[in-house]
Structure 1
Amino acid sequence: MKTSVHLSLPLLAVVSTVALVACGGDGGNPVVAPAPEPLTVAKASCATGNRPETGLQGQVDASLRANGFNGFNCNLDLVGSYKGDGAGVSFASFKDHAGRTCTYHSTTTGHPVGLQNPGVTVLDITDPATPIRTASLTSIAMLDPLESMRLNGQRQILVANNGYASVGGPEVDVYDLSSDCRTPQLLASAPVGTGADGGVYTPNSPLTKGHEGAISPDGLTYYIGDFTNNVYRAIDITDPAKPKQIAVFDMKDLPGKAHGLSVSADGNRVYAAAYGLPTLAQVADPAAYPINGFVVLDTSEVQARKPNAAITLISTAFHKDGSASQHTLPMKVAGKSYLVQVDEGGSAGVLTDAGFKAACAAKLPPFPMARIYDIQDDSDPKLVSKLMLETHDPANCAKVAPDVMGLGLYAYGSHFCSVDNRENATALACAYFNSGIRVFDIRDPAKPKELAYFNPASGPLLPGSARAVLQQWREGAPDLCGAQLHFDFDRKQLVSACMDNGVQVLQFAPNTWPFAQSVASALQQ
């Protein structure tokens, strides 16, 4: 097993500059180091008529918040929306055999007062300008799937585990989408891992807890990130009416906790988040060992359905300039294997005033971001680039402090990301909370560039918005965009959900995306 530890870019830049100056040059004169590579991704060039950001890249400054934020957009235009009861952080989209396009988004039931349609909202967006609610899924896991809901286009199923109140229970729900995406049919709503499912029983933690999830591309295995018990669970859904637990990987001997995850194209690897929260002392100590990142797991025995299948550790990759590892996403760019890893906490953890100050004092990014790793050799992942906005740059701490001090939890930073095609990725879309929905050109993974963004205007506090539970809503403040995203190649659109504004159907400006190299994905997940 190899362990990769990655220094932050600011430190690497300093080391590089010192080395160049020390080498000397002709006549004993020091060699002047070239200007350091910018820490942040290049800004998008916006189409005429857009409403571009007025401050730093990713910023909604305090004055805009105080007067009521009216939204920003760059190369993405809103063509349709559905507020409903608001949204949680699980989102999926699917086009069925009849050409109908549907979306599925969670609502949050921690404070259900006033909730009109609890559960997962089903929308028909075949006409993107007029989304129509066709159903609400109210089986136990769908009442609050938290971050676990996933869709598999090959099997045409929608799956979630019970994430109620962030701890949930042992239930897994499976729906069939094959007949009509507008009316999913319940196949199973059953507990797993308790001994009653006919699969592996885990006496050390018999009560499975839902939180996160992922489906293997072949649609036969659903993985649960059980944050409460700190384990990853493999659930056999070969028979979608009878889900059963078949393997467990315990994170107890590793830094970080079980959270989000993803599965390789062949099903033989799981890239699992290791959710770590540093102390303020660790943030201040440049020698402190990082505790946040991801682990690579060998799941070939699970994929082959070997009896008593074991999940084993291959490698780890940890970094200090982020925390609260959220999820991962494998992809290929020009035939080469990469992994997107996304945090939901900055260098000093999920946002607090003290943590913000500690990160800034240590010259580390105070907010979370996505990053790209080379995993051609998955025994030794190598950091390639970071999706850092100007709001992340520690040099801008004084400029963003008035926006976020006293806010807590989530502000400027990443949560979920999606690519246009896992087998031929050219664009990456990320939900960056108060910074809105951001899209990046990743055709050169070492030098990602901002392509487009959409940050919706502030909205009302809705009963099914995750902000009702997080207590993050502020009148006039920007929304929290934190759900998965879906590229629609045929319509040149991007669809996602933000907490106060609900589902957002966004149209790319002409000649923005797709690129000449882009092709539609067959996975629909």
Structure 2
Amino acid sequence: MKKNFLFKTSIAGMLVFSALAPVGLAHDALDETGLIKGDRTYYDDLAVPQMKGSKNLKHLYEAAAPEMNVVREDGKQNSFADVYSHKGFAYVGTHTRNGGNGGVRVLDLKDPSNPKEVAVFAHNDIPGTWHEKVIVKSVNTADFKGDLAVVSVQQLNRNNPDSKGGFLLYDVTDPYQPQKLGFWEVTKQTTGTHELYLTMQGNRALVLAASPYADYYSHGKARDFQVVDVSNPTEPTTLWQFDPRSVPEVGTDFNGYHWDSPDGKTRPVFNHSVIADNNGRYAYVSMWDLGTVIFDLKNPEKPVYLGRTEFATDQQGSAHSAALAKGDTILIETREVYQPLKSGFEAAFGYTRIFDIRDKTNPVLLSEFKTDLTTDIPEDAPPTYATFSNTVHDPKVHGNTLYLSYYAGGVIAVDITNPSEPTEIGRYTPESANVWGVFVDKNFVLASDMGSGLKVLLKNNGNGNKSNRILE
């Protein structure tokens, strides 16, 4: 009888990051220049635990980890960010290493075990920017019919007169030859659009934009959450912006960033991410410590606030991203807590919460999914201990399986057949893992590693000899 080591990965080794300059990545710090995205800082004397052992999810194996081509003229490589798939092509965003400007990388997955990089776009459009998020969907409007890509654009330095933030729109009907269509700019004062979502609403195409700190930097002239009509991608038009003061519990106790919440704590509030259901009827906005805020989007010029998730007094909010399950009756909320020893809160990295949202005015917490990573905090960790290793990041759902990207934890698969009792069923942890995003297609699971780029996971169909990474 074979021993099944598939789920019994253990911490058995240490991953040490090289000394780097502070990298702005997450989300709730203030300094003399204003709001920055987090300052996760690495030092060569800070050892970070890495998951070792199985590189597999149940019934999946690593089929490919292609070397990503260097596309910059200076010969330097960028780091990588999120990943999306559409019609057999992978779209990989890029992060800030070596000054950003990495654009979006396109890989042909016709042979998933041998992906071919076929194009790069958005890398030379706006200097001093980076391009984390890309969404690609088929669009059919009076002005455009084809495959449309929207790409988030964030400034490395908002004081750079040559840069600007917002999102780009590209025609990728022919993925080998992407064509630029338009650009939507958020207020110059902010860093730009961090995450976004593209949805069709009848014959209308909408982009939902998460532009963190726009409210704060512009003193309310622009907001963190915008609904933009891109039916004509060459002329994107802002339809509506969300003022958090319209939420009853917030009111005037909000200065564009901090909120004096009812639990007596001063909490950060900004829009990190947003998704919609398949028909563009409802928007789910990850507003950090305000929770996941739900809107009726059926009239995109006048969305209606419905409700939001709430947190226990000892929980850092950190509502980072969301996904839907069970016919859109279940909401998955991931919380990116990268400072697990923050004063006044539980000692824990970020974990996942699952809600019943059949009544969208009153989300009901069903369960919290935690792993061995959640409380794996070194005894001698400083109060501001912050690493890539142990917080959950992004969620994706396929059927009754939830896939979570977990930085150095790789990808974790969770059975949510019963959302009240989520159960881990497998992990995939590549070498020197730093997994930013995960995407689920009917034929494969994609992961994006910040250091090495795309990973392709395929079904092994019971063939234990398919890869030496399969342990059963």
Q: Is TM-score (shorter-chain normalized) higher than 0.5? A: yes
Residues 462-498 of structure 1 show CA distances to partners (whole Å, capped at 9, x for unaligned) of xxxxxxxxxxxxxxxxx22122x22232x3x211211
After superposition, the Cα gap between the structure-2 partners of 1:146 and 1:184, relative to the gap in structure 1 and judged at 3 Å, is closer
Superposition pairs for residues 101-500 of structure 1, below 5 Å?
Answer: 101-109=88-96, 111-112=98-99, 118-137=102-121, 138-140=123-125, 144-153=129-138, 156-165=147-156, 169-178=164-173, 180-188=174-182, 190-192=183-185, 209-218=192-201, 220-230=205-215, 231-252=224-245, 254=250, 255=259, 256-276=269-289, 292-302=290-300, 309-320=301-312, 321-331=315-325, 333=326, 335=327, 337-345=329-337, 350-351=338-339, 354-355=341-342, 358=343, 364-393=346-375, 397=377, 400-401=378-379, 408-420=386-398, 425-458=399-432, 479-483=433-437, 485-489=438-442, 491=443, 493-500=444-451
Residues 175-216 of structure 1 show CA distances to partners (whole Å, capped at 9, x for unaligned) of 2222x333322222x23467xxxxxxxxxx887831121122
Task: Report if aligned partners of 1:120, 1:142 keep a CA contact under 8 Å in 2.
Answer: no
After superposition, the Cα gap between the structure-2 partners of 1:183 and 1:405, relative to the gap in structure 1 and judged at 3 Å, is farther
After superposition, the Cα gap between the structure-2 partners of 1:186 and 1:66, relative to the gap in structure 1 and judged at 3 Å, is closer
Q: Whose radius of gyration is greater, 1 or 2?
A: 1
Task: Report if aligned partners of 1:142, 1:162 keep a CA contact under 8 Å in 2.
Answer: no
Q: Which moved more, 1:314-323 or 1:431-440?
A: 314-323
Task: Report if aligned partners of 2:85, 2:441 keep a CA contact under 8 Å in 1.
Answer: no
Q: How many angstroms apart in 1 are the aligned matches of 2:7 and 2:277?
A: 39
Residue type matched to 1:210 in 2?
T
Q: How many angstroms apart in 2 are the aligned matches of 1:506 and 1:176?
A: 28
TM-score with structure 1 length normalisation? 0.64
Q: How many angstroms apart in 2 are the aligned matches of 1:429 and 1:142?
A: 34
Deviation of 1:451 after TM superposition, in Å, equals 2.1
Deviation of 1:109 after TM superposition, in Å, equals 3.7
Task: Report if aligned partners of 2:14, 2:50 keep a CA contact under 8 Å in 1.
Answer: no
- Are 2:65 and 1:81 aligned? yes
Higher share in helix = 1
Residues 118-175 of structure 1 show CA distances to partners (whole Å, capped at 9, x for unaligned) of 3211111221222221111125369855544222245521102311328673442112
> In structure 2, what is the equivalent of residue 517 of structure 1?
none
> In structure 2, what is the equivalent of residue 3 of structure 1?
none
Task: Report if aligned partners of 1:148, 1:210 keep a CA contact under 8 Å in 2.
Answer: no
Superposition pairs for residues 508-523 of structure 1, below 5 Å?
Answer: 508-510=459-461
Residue type matched to 1:503 in 2?
L
After superposition, the Cα gap between the structure-2 partners of 1:47 and 1:163, relative to the gap in structure 1 and judged at 3 Å, is farther
SS at match of 1:111: helix
Task: Could you tell me which runs of 5 or more consecutive residues in structure 1 were left unpaired when the two chains were aligned.
Answer: 1-45, 96-100, 195-204, 277-291, 303-308, 459-478, 513-525
TM-score with structure 2 length normalisation? 0.71
Deviation of 1:314 after TM superposition, in Å, equals 1.6
CA RMSD of aligned residues (A): 3.4
Task: Could you tell me which runs of 5 or more consecutive residues in structure 2 were left unpaired when the two chains were aligned.
Answer: 17-46, 69-76, 140-145, 216-223, 251-258, 260-268, 464-472
Task: Report if aligned partners of 2:282, 2:295 keep a CA contact under 8 Å in 1.
Answer: yes
Q: How many angstroms apart in 2 are the aligned matches of 1:404 and 1:455?
A: 27
Task: Report if aligned partners of 2:157, 2:191 keep a CA contact under 8 Å in 1.
Answer: no
Q: How many angstroms apart in 2 are the aligned matches of 1:247 and 1:208?
A: 20
Residue type matched to 1:456 in 2?
P
After superposition, the Cα gap between the structure-2 partners of 1:208 and 1:436, relative to the gap in structure 1 and judged at 3 Å, is closer
Residues 11-69 of structure 1 show CA distances to partners (whole Å, capped at 9, x for unaligned) of xxxxxxxxxxxxxxxxxxxxxxxxxxxxxxxxxxx9857594124xxxx6548968997
Deviation of 1:91 after TM superposition, in Å, equals 1.3
Residues 59-106 of structure 1 show CA distances to partners (whole Å, capped at 9, x for unaligned) of x654896899765323332110124246432211111xxxxx211112
Higher share in strand = 2
After superposition, the Cα gap between the structure-2 partners of 1:68 and 1:297, relative to the gap in structure 1 and judged at 3 Å, is closer
Task: Report if aligned partners of 1:234, 1:245 keep a CA contact under 8 Å in 2.
Answer: yes
Q: Percent of aligned positions with the same letter in both sequences?
A: 18
Task: Report if aligned partners of 2:51, 2:408 keep a CA contact under 8 Å in 1.
Answer: no
Q: How many angstroms apart in 1 are the aligned matches of 2:373 and 2:390?
A: 7
Q: How many angstroms apart in 2 are the aligned matches of 1:237 and 1:408?
A: 38
After superposition, the Cα gap between the structure-2 partners of 1:143 and 1:383, relative to the gap in structure 1 and judged at 3 Å, is farther
After superposition, the Cα gap between the structure-2 partners of 1:63 and 1:504, relative to the gap in structure 1 and judged at 3 Å, is closer
SS at match of 2:117: strand
Q: How many angstroms apart in 2 are the aligned matches of 1:148 and 1:63?
A: 27
> In structure 2, what is the equivalent of residue 23 of structure 1?
none
Residue type matched to 2:441 in 1?
D
Q: How many angstroms apart in 1 are the aligned matches of 2:363 and 2:119?
A: 43
Task: Report if aligned partners of 2:79, 2:97 keep a CA contact under 8 Å in 1.
Answer: no
Deviation of 1:508 after TM superposition, in Å, equals 3.5
Task: Report if aligned partners of 1:259, 1:327 keep a CA contact under 8 Å in 2.
Answer: yes
Task: Report if aligned partners of 1:373, 1:381 keep a CA contact under 8 Å in 2.
Answer: yes
Report the number of matched residues.
379
Deviation of 1:382 after TM superposition, in Å, equals 0.5
Q: How many angstroms apart in 2 are the aligned matches of 1:67 and 1:242?
A: 48
Higher RCO, Cα 8 Å, sep 6+: 1
SS at match of 2:242: strand
> In structure 2, what is the equivalent of residue 201 of structure 1?
none
After superposition, the Cα gap between the structure-2 partners of 1:251 and 1:48, relative to the gap in structure 1 and judged at 3 Å, is same
Q: How many angstroms apart in 2 are the aligned matches of 1:126 and 1:378?
A: 40
Q: How many angstroms apart in 2 are the aligned matches of 1:141 and 1:52?
A: 46
Deviation of 1:221 after TM superposition, in Å, equals 0.3
Residue type matched to 2:197 in 1?
A
Q: How many angstroms apart in 2 are the aligned matches of 1:251 and 1:452?
A: 39
